[in-house]
């Protein structure tokens, strides 16, 4: 088991209480009132191509849409025509880094030996160049949610040995050769373990499987793929692993007593979402659900940076189903502390949303300031290097499901008509104090 200095994912904890949902650490209130932002911080923006440009026609998610499993993406947020202005707007808000997606299905709509799409290469090259001209450091993400249908569905994706060990490394090499001179850093995959669970445990992403063993195998394969990208790209530019942090708790029983079965499921969820990357990077051990542990000494201390997406807590029931809780700043920051404590020799960047929302879809100003204050507080005496805003521009959401688009709460800095929301003011004010 991975030792925890902070037990924020302890499955022995009870359900999240109302007082926990309402409370924020007093230190954060004090920091907010005093305007005490304790250290300079790199502000960034995470731009997902499928959400902003729409889903590539040959992506696996496009097939998912055609099957009626997800809403039509259309042109996303219209980024294809507004991207120059959008990058300039983000730079004007104070962003200094931007994570762009090299969507695999756009670069390679067909498998090798077919060449990359010249149009897709030209467009991404131009975006990287313009970002640099605007003073933004461009990081490039190779996989952010979608995969080419020919890779994921036809060839078995990362679960297939040949696809994982031949097709993926060849793609990494091609991307490196094509764009390496334009990037400030690399992100092989964004939240790969969460996506492995969506694909093979919760059936909420293609191929839509619900099998705990396959999910564990997919988690292991995704970590291997991340490590292979680190091996191939190391030395060309900084390489970051981008993982998910969230508090995991067992759902209470109907009687209010300890729910042993739910605790077991919550423990297994930790072994699928937290421990695979914490143990690999910290101890050189590969943990993946109930699969036998493996020694992976090549991953101990790997990666130049760890980016962690702060997601709301989840309750796990007796069947292993997740119930997502409200985004509670102190609980999300506690999960961040756990990761930083366990991998104290790594540089961290926190990512997520400043726009806390309530059930009626309105943002919570306290959440916005508390998240930024908490991130700032952590820079003192830690290696938290920055805050990257996820999905800063309202667009299509890959976490929606069903044939109709679910109404989206205002979790972005900028609305679809490019009006700045209140969270943008927090982002801007933070930059002004650094």
**Per residue in 56-99, pLDDT tens?**
999 999 999 999 999 999 999 999 999 999 999 999 999 999 99
Which of 276, 162, 179, 289 has the alpha carbon at shortest distance from 227? 276
Cis peptide before 207 (omega within 30 of 0): yes
Question: How confident is the model over 17-21, as a mean pLDDT?
Answer: 37
Res. 410: pLDDT tops 90: no
Q: What is the pLDDT of residues 254-310, one digit of tens each?
A: 876 788 999 999 999 999 999 999 999 999 999 999 999 999 999 999 999 999 999
pLDDT tens digit string along 335-354?
888 999 999 899 999 998 87
249 φ/ψ angles, rounded to the nearest 5 degrees: -135, 155
pLDDT at res. 411: 73
Instruction: Please give the pLDDT value at position 278.
Output: 98
Give the separation between CA 202 and CA 75, rounded to whole angstroms: 27
Distances, alpha carbon 53 to alpha carbons 2, 109, 277, in Å: 40, 15, 30
pLDDT value of residue 370: 65
Which residue has better confidence, 239 or 112?
239
Which one has a higher pLDDT value, 31 or 292? 292
CATH 3.40.50.300 for domain 18-433: no
Q: What is the mean pLDDT of the chain?
A: 84
- Weakest mean pLDDT among 7-16, 119-128, 140-149, 375-384: 7-16
Q: What whole-number distance in Å separates Cα of residue 165 and Cα of residue 225?
A: 8
- Residue 383: is its pLDDT beyond 70? no
Please determine, for residue 364, whether its predicted confidence score (pLDDT) is greater than 80.
no
The mean pLDDT of 154-177, rounded to a whole number, is 95
Which ranges of 70-151 does DSSP label H, i.e. alpha helix? 79-93, 104-107, 118-133, 149
Q: Tell me what pLDDT residue 190 has.
A: 98
d(CA 155, CA 207): 12
With 0-12 CB in 10 A as exposed, 13-18 as middle and 19+ as buried, what is 201? buried
**What are the sequence ranges of the domains in the chain?**
18-433
């Amino acid at each position: 088991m991975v030792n925890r200095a902070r037990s924020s994912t302890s499955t022995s904890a009870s359900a999240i209480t109302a007082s926990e949902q309402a409370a924020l650490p007093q230190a954060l209130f004090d920091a907010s009132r005093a305007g005490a932002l304790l250290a300079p911080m790199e502000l960034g923006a995470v731009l997902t191509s499928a959400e902003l440009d729409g889903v590539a026609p040959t992506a696996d998610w496009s097939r998912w849409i055609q099957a009626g499993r997800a809403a039509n993406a259309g042109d996303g947020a219209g980024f294809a025509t507004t991207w120059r202005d959008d990058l300039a707007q983000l730079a004007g808000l104070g962003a200094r880094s931007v994570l762009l997606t090299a969507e695999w299905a756009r670069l390679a709509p067909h498998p090798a030996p077919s060449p990359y799409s010249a149009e897709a290469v030209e467009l991404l090259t131009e975006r990287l160049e313009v970002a640099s001209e605007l003073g933004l450091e461009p990081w490039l993400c190779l996989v952010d949610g979608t995969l080419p249908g020919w890779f994921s569905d036809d060839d078995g994706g990362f679960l297939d040995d040949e696809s994982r060990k031949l097709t993926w490394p060849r793609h990494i090499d091609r991307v490196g050769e094509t764009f390496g001179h334009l990037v400030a850093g690399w992100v092989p995959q964004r939240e790969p373990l969460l996506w492995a669970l969506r694909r093979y445990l919760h059936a909420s992403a293609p191929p839509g499987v619900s099998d705990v063993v396959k999910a564990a195998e997919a988690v292991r394969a995704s970590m291997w793929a991340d490590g292979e990208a680190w091996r191939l790209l190391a030395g060309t530019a900084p390489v970051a692993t981008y993982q998910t942090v969230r508090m995991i708790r067992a759902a209470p029983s109907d009687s209010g007593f300890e729910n042993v079965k739910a605790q077991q499921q919550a423990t297994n969820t930790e072994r699928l979402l937290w421990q695979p990357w914490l143990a690999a990077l910290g101890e050189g051990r590969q943990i993946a659900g109930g699969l036998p542990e493996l020694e992976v000494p090549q991953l101990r201390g790997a990666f130049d940076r760890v980016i962690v997406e702060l997601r709301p807590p989840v309750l796990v029931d007796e069947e292993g189903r997740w119930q997502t809780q409200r985004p509670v700043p102190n609980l999300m920051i506690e999960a961040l502390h756990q990761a930083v404590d366990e991998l104290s020799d790594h540089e961290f960047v926190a990512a997520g949303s400043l726009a806390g929302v309530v059930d009626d879809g309105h943002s919570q100003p306290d959440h916005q300031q508390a998240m930024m204050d908490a991130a700032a507080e952590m820079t003192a005496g830690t290696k938290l290097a920055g805050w990257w805003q996820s999905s800063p521009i309202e667009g299509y959401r890959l976490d929606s499901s069903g044939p109709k688009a679910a109404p989206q709460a205002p979790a972005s800095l900028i609305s679809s008509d490019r009006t700045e929301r209140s969270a943008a003011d927090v982002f801007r004010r933070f930059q002004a104090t650094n």
